[in-house]
Structure 1
Amino acid sequence: MSQSFNIALVGATGSIGEALVELLEERDFPVKELHLLASSESAGQSLSFRGRQVRVRSLDAFDFAQVQLAFFAAGADVTRAQHERVLAAGCSLIDLSAALPLSQAPCVLPEAGLDGLPARHAPWLLSSPTPCAVATALVLTALRPLLQPRQVQLTAMLAASTLGRSGVQELARQTAELLNGRPLEPKGLDRQVAFNLLAQVGALDEQGHAELENRLASELQQLLGVPDLPVSATCALAPVFFGDSLALGVQVDGEVDVAAVSRLLEAAPGIELVEAGDYPTAVGDAVGQDQVYVGRVRSGVSDPRQLNLWIASDNVRKGAALTAVQIAELLIKHYL
């Protein structure tokens, strides 16, 4: 990549924003000038990038005509409020907040490339998939030469960092309160998450599904190229700071060849298959890593046409920041 680009990063002071800055440097992304942006409350902070301190500035006053590409790692409300202004300035946008409909901002699995996207031109508007969709789609895409899913059932135990830095801080506060024998009053959550497991992440619709669960199903359908694929998703909040753990069940037409499945997973880029008899964990394996870890590969207890496996992935680094950077690398290689 001989050409360099001016880049904006919105939400620079959050966990994902900080991870994006680290990865842009680690992967030698062709950055000419990096503009770090956040709310007026966070403006004035500084982050290190390529040996110098880059000051965080207010998003409201920034002119996006200065940059060719913007990462939006702030909340969904920020993306909804700003994306038209960004595109009008001729700047492409990669959104990490799941704010926009997939028909407007398609999601991309970098390992599968950009071939499935509708024909379009700059400025581009793309969504980086939710972290659990990234991990699930990566596994199912690797298995495509062997099997086609007819139904997907996913139970996702999500880290507190799914809720942003406030989720991490609340889990830490609750843990400290309980360990010190003090009475606990949850803040920002409706109940205790420390030493607990919450079966709901976000508000529910009339059918009892959370917005994240609906989004996850839609993203998997798009990423796998099967718009009518039945997807059942349950997202729970786990007392873990970073790293998601997923139980994936896939129904297929024929009997599952577990040995063949394992061979494909072992050879797939971006996947680390844990040997039979062992299993990966978020804390012990996935956190801080760029791979998605897979274990407990097996057929169904009573149905040989069902594949079950366990997935552990770093939701902030791999699921969010690295995926967004990889999407950007594809864009600048082929289109920008």
Structure 2
Amino acid sequence: MSKSLAIAVIGATGTVGETLVQLLEEREFPVAGLHLLAGNDSVGQAMAFRGKNLRVREVADFDFAQVQLAFFAAGEDISRQYGPKAHAAGCSVIDLSGGLPQALPLVPEANAEALAAASAPYLLASPAPAATALAAVLAPLRTRLGLRKIVMNALLSVSTIGRSGVSELARQTTELLNMRPLEPQVFGRQVAFNVLAQLGEVEEGGHARLERRMADELKWVLAIDGLKVAVTCCVAPVFFGDSLAVCLETAAPVDVAAVATLLEQQAGIEMVEQGDYPTVVGDAVGQDELYVGRLRAGLDDPTELNLWIASDNVRKGSALNAVQIGELLIKHYL
């Protein structure tokens, strides 16, 4: 990638935004100038990038005509408010929040070719981390298996909602271990030493908004006619990393050994040997790879395939996927 761009990162001081800036440096992204933007609470903070300390500025005062590419990692409200303004100013947008439903969802390992039908300035979306992880694992399998239905039970870490979730789990854990009364402030109930059966308010029909978002994104990215998707999102008392229990319904009996061999050959996927399994704490957190284990056929249905995925939701599922979208843009389209 020889072309360099002026880039903005909105939400630069959040968990995802901070990691995104780190990856831009680690992967030697062709940055001609980097603008770090956030809301009022973070304005004035300094962040290191390529040996310099850059000041975080107020997004409301920024002229997006100054940049060619903007990463939105500050939440749905900020994306909805400023994403269209950036796009109208001629800036290509990569949204990580799910706040721009008109944006094209991309997982480079799964549907990079979809970008050819879009036009500049680009309006793109990095899917929810769990959807990104599952799409990347299923991409090499979709034609071989003849996928008909996906059932995903996602155990999401508290960092799914950002620093507030991380701080809440730490605070609750400290209070409980010190035998102090617990007053939940973020999730509405105790999350420490517990598992919560939903994240966010449910919509009509009983599904949470995030569950519907993931189902829609998986259908779009995998692009399989008639694919059915069921998603259940729970909150686990884990700071970082998502664990996904996945059941696939296929068109024909599954050759589990052949599937394992195919996954072992894929860059970015680490297959754990039979009899073992990956965890987010022991394997996935801080890594760019997706860890897959517990690959097995159904107990009484040979057309069923079950698997377990552990991934870093902040690094791999969010920041890295967005940066890879940007790399794809610069290499082929900008």
Shorter-chain TM-score tier: over 0.9
- Structure 2 residue identity aligned to 1:69: L
Alignment of 1:117-196 (within 5 A): 117=115, 119-196=117-194
- Structure 2 residue identity aligned to 1:4: S
% same residue: 62
- Structure 2 residue identity aligned to 1:251: E
Query: For 1:243-296, what per-residue CA distance to the aligned partner results, in whole angstroms no more than 9, with x for missing partners?
Result: 000000000111110100100110011110001110000010000000000000
Structure 2 unaligned runs (5+)? none
Identify the residue that residue 58 of structure 2 maps to in structure 1. Answer: 58
Query: What secondary structure, in the 3-state scheme, does the structure 2 residue paired with 1:114 have?
Result: helix
Q: Distance in 1 between matches of 2:188 and 2:32?
A: 45
- Structure 2 residue identity aligned to 1:299: A
Alignment of 1:83-102 (within 5 A): 83-101=83-101
Structure 1 residue 228: Cα displacement: 3.2
Identify the residue that residue 226 of structure 1 maps to in structure 2. Answer: 224
Identify the residue that residue 16 of structure 1 maps to in structure 2. Answer: 16
TM-score, normalised to structure 1, is 0.98
Query: What secondary structure, in the 3-state scheme, does the structure 1 residue paired with 2:104 have?
Result: coil
145-154 or 189-198: which moved more? 145-154
33-42 or 141-150: which moved more? 141-150
Query: For 1:178-235, what per-residue CA distance to the aligned partner results, in whole angstroms no more than 9, with x for missing partners?
Result: 0111010000221000000000101101100000000010000001102531111000
Q: Distance in 2 between matches of 1:31 and 1:87?
A: 19
197-206 or 141-150: which moved more? 141-150
Q: Distance in 2 between matches of 1:96 and 1:215?
A: 12
Q: Distance in 2 between matches of 1:278 and 1:329?
A: 35
Contact 1:113 1:330 in 2 (8 A): no
- Structure 2 residue identity aligned to 1:293: Y
- Structure 1 residue identity aligned to 2:30: P
Q: Distance in 1 between matches of 2:298 and 2:306?
A: 6
Q: Distance in 1 between matches of 2:225 and 2:131?
A: 15
- Structure 1 residue identity aligned to 2:252: G
Query: What secondary structure, in the 3-state scheme, does the structure 2 residue paired with 1:235 have?
Result: strand
Alignment of 1:215-294 (within 5 A): 215-226=213-224, 228-294=226-292
Identify the residue that residue 106 of structure 2 maps to in structure 1. Answer: 108
Contact 2:94 2:322 in 1 (8 A): yes
Structure 1 residue 238: Cα displacement: 0.3
Q: Distance in 2 between matches of 1:44 and 1:56?
A: 5
List, as ranges, runs of 4+ consecutive aligned residues in structure 1 with deviation greater than 6 Å. Answer: none
Indicate whether 1:211 and 2:209 are aligned.
yes
Q: Distance in 1 between matches of 2:264 and 2:323?
A: 24
Structure 1 residue 145: Cα displacement: 4.4
Structure 1 residue 113: Cα displacement: 4.8
RMSD between aligned residues: 1.0
Q: Distance in 2 between matches of 1:207 and 1:227?
A: 24
Identify the residue that residue 308 of structure 2 maps to in structure 1. Answer: 310
Query: What secondary structure, in the 3-state scheme, does the structure 1 residue paired with 2:210 have?
Result: helix
Q: Distance in 2 between matches of 1:257 and 1:263?
A: 10
TM-score, normalised to structure 2, is 0.98
